Amino acid sequence: MAQPLILGIESSCDETAAAVIRGRTLLSDEIVSSASVQAKFGGVVPEIASRIHSDAVDEVVLRALGRANVKKEELDAVAVTYGAGLLGALLVGLSFAKGLAYGLDIPLIGVNHIRGHLAASYLEDETLAPPFVTLLASGGHTAILYAKTKTDFEVLGGTLDDAAGEAFDKVARVLGLPYPGGPHVERLAREGRAVVPMPKMLKGLGGYDFSYSGLKTHIINYVHTKEQGEAWSKADVAASFQSAALDILAEKTVEGALERHVGTVTAGGGVVANGYLREKLQTVCREAGLKLVLPAKKHCTDNAAMIAAEGLIRYEAGDFAPLSLNACASIPLR
Ligand code: KG4
Ligand code: ZN
């Protein structure tokens, strides 16, 4: 059977993106980001995001089709993020996708953005198959998941408060770094040493849970105290925070894989673009004899390739959405 040709569209936050896949092969992957505009405001302004999506969406889709050398009439389905995210932003991609699916008389597939982050690994390694354990670490979610099948997973544990990306963004703000904070903290951390004592991350009862609030408060207090007089190194604080925040994610993920007796670990979400975390995951997986599949950095942060990849899973399951599908600001992980 011919492999399905799927267009993925993503517009949940500040990236307008479109990608085309044939089976698990990525043919094109286009993106327009409004992050530099949003940086002026220290975060994403929903109305600005929606306007930029409206201006960019048709051009991005045309570019994705052009790069893939595909005519829209050849598409088998359109997959689009319907949640979670900013409602106005989601509606831009969703309305566009509905129009296209209706006009071409092909299925519309509604994709849960977080499921997209999980599916990014399938594009990285075409042989990847469940079961495996995944570390999901984005701006809104941080969890360790046991993927039983392509569509069914169990949450082993996760953050009790802030998501990892959120913690990076908040610490970046305290250190006077721009939005989005993660890449700036990472860059600064490379110039520092992890020598500032950090509190032990609070662990929840479940064994796989953890909390970022103590770490964040500790850094806020540390910086405020030092600002009263003593010399201190921002780069050392960044490096110390980074290792305290990320080591636990890598270690807990490996624990989960060993406990569930799976041989493979995957990861996804914006924080997985962090070089320190990627190296740490490589080290702990190698030591534990586990195979690690890490999506390319550009497929960790928001992108449409991952939406198309999750779209393929839904396509194969015959899980199509009605044209009445609405955007949802929040949807559960499962
Ligand atoms: O997955 P993502 O692009 O969007 C959501 O679905 O949330 O994740 C965005 C988050 C932001 O909090 C951002 O600061 C963080 O991922 N992030 C990073 C890095 N790149 C992005 N955090 C740490 N290091 C990075 N290099
Ligand atoms: Zn995301």
Question: What spacing in Å lies between the alpha carbon of 101 and ligand 1's midpoint?
Answer: 31
Predicted local confidence at residue 253, as pLDDT: 97
- List, for residues 173-190, the tens digit of each pLDDT value: 999 999 899 999 999 999
How far is 85 from 323, CA to CA, in rounded Å?
19
Q: Which atom of ligand 1 is nearest to the CA of 269?
A: 1
Question: What spacing in Å lies between the alpha carbon of 299 and ligand 1's midpoint?
Answer: 11
How far is 198 from 259, CA to CA, in rounded Å?
28
Calculate the alpha carbon distances from 331 to 21, 82, 97, 158 in Å: 25, 9, 19, 16
Question: What spacing in Å lies between the alpha carbon of 39 and ligand 1's midpoint?
Answer: 14
Altogether, the residues listed in the chain come to a count of 334
Q: Which two tokens stand for residue 3?
A: 């492999």
Q: Which atom of ligand 1 is nearest to the CA of 302?
A: 3
Helices (H), 41-145: 46-68, 87-104, 113-124
Q: Please answer whether residues 311 and 79 qualify as being in contact, where contact means their C-beta atoms are separated by less than 8 angstroms.
A: yes
Question: What spacing in Å lies between the alpha carbon of 63 and ligand 1's midpoint?
Answer: 25
CA proximity to 107, closest of 325, 304, 302: 325
Question: What spacing in Å lies between the alpha carbon of 36 and ligand 2's midpoint?
Answer: 17
Residue with tokens 């207090």: 221
CATH topology of domain 5-118+300-316: Nucleotidyltransferase; domain 5 (3.30.420)
> End-to-end alpha-carbon separation of the chain, Å?
30
Q: What is the full per-residue pLDDT of the chain (334 aa) written as tens digits? A: 689 999 999 999 989 999 999 999 999 999 998 888 888 888 889 999 999 999 999 999 999 999 999 999 999 999 999 999 999 999 999 999 999 999 999 999 999 999 999 999 999 999 999 999 999 999 999 999 999 999 999 999 999 999 999 999 999 999 999 989 999 999 999 999 999 999 877 665 568 998 999 999 999 999 999 888 888 999 999 999 999 999 999 999 999 999 999 999 999 999 999 999 999 999 999 999 999 999 999 999 999 999 999 999 999 999 999 999 999 999 987 6
Question: What spacing in Å lies between the alpha carbon of 300 and ligand 1's midpoint?
Answer: 8
Residue 258 sits at φ, ψ, to 5 deg, of: -70, -40
Q: Where are the domains of the chain?
A: 5-118+300-316, 129-297
Q: Please answer whether residues 221 and 198 qualify as being in contact, where contact means their C-beta atoms are separated by less than 8 angstroms.
A: no
**Cα-Cα-Cα-Cα dihedral of 314, 318, 319, 325, to 10°?**
110
CA proximity to 286, closest of 259, 254, 242: 254
Q: Which atom of ligand 1 is nearest to the CA of 172?
A: 14
Q: Which ligand is nearest to the CA of 249?
A: 1
Q: Which two tokens stand for residue 155?
A: 């949450």
Predicted local confidence at residue 200, as pLDDT: 79
How far is 298 from 179, CA to CA, in rounded Å?
18
Q: Which atom of ligand 1 is nearest to the CA of 15?
A: 3
Question: What spacing in Å lies between the alpha carbon of 171 and ligand 1's midpoint?
Answer: 13
Question: What spacing in Å lies between the alpha carbon of 130 and ligand 2's midpoint?
Answer: 22
Q: Which atom of ligand 1 is nearest to the CA of 139?
A: 7
What 3-state class would DSSP assign to 150?
A: coil
Question: What spacing in Å lies between the alpha carbon of 295 and ligand 1's midpoint?
Answer: 14
What 3-state class would DSSP assign to 178?
A: coil
Q: Of all protein residues, whose CA lies closest to atom 7 belonging to ligand 1? A: 139
Q: How many CA atoms lie within 13 A of 239 on its CB side?
A: 14
Q: Please answer whether residues 50 and 59 qualify as being in contact, where contact means their C-beta atoms are separated by less than 8 angstroms.
A: no
Predicted local confidence at residue 42, as pLDDT: 83
Q: Which of the listed residues 118, 138, 277 should we mutate to test ligand 1's pocket, taking the one with most ligand atoms within 8 A of CB?
A: 138
Does the domain spanning 129-297 belong to CATH 3.40.1180.10?
no
Predicted local confidence at residue 334, as pLDDT: 67
Q: Which of the listed residues 243, 271, 306 should we mutate to test ligand 1's pocket, taking the one with most ligand atoms within 8 A of CB?
A: 271
CA proximity to 48, closest of 59, 60, 62, 38: 38
Give residue ranges with CB within 6 A of ligand 1.
13, 117, 138-140, 165-166, 168-169, 180-183, 186, 269-271, 273-274, 301-302
Q: Which residues hold their Cβ within 5 A of ligand 2, which is an ion? A: 138, 302
Residue with tokens 């070089």: 275
Query: Given this chain, do its domains 5-118+300-316 and 129-297 carry the same CATH topology?
Result: yes
What 3-state class would DSSP assign to 139?
A: coil
How far is 79 from 311, CA to CA, in rounded Å?
5
Predicted local confidence at residue 202, as pLDDT: 63
Q: Of all protein residues, whose CA lies closest to atom 2 belonging to ligand 1? A: 270
DSSP 69: T
Q: Please answer whether residues 269 and 134 qualify as being in contact, where contact means their C-beta atoms are separated by less than 8 angstroms.
A: no
Model pTM score: 0.96
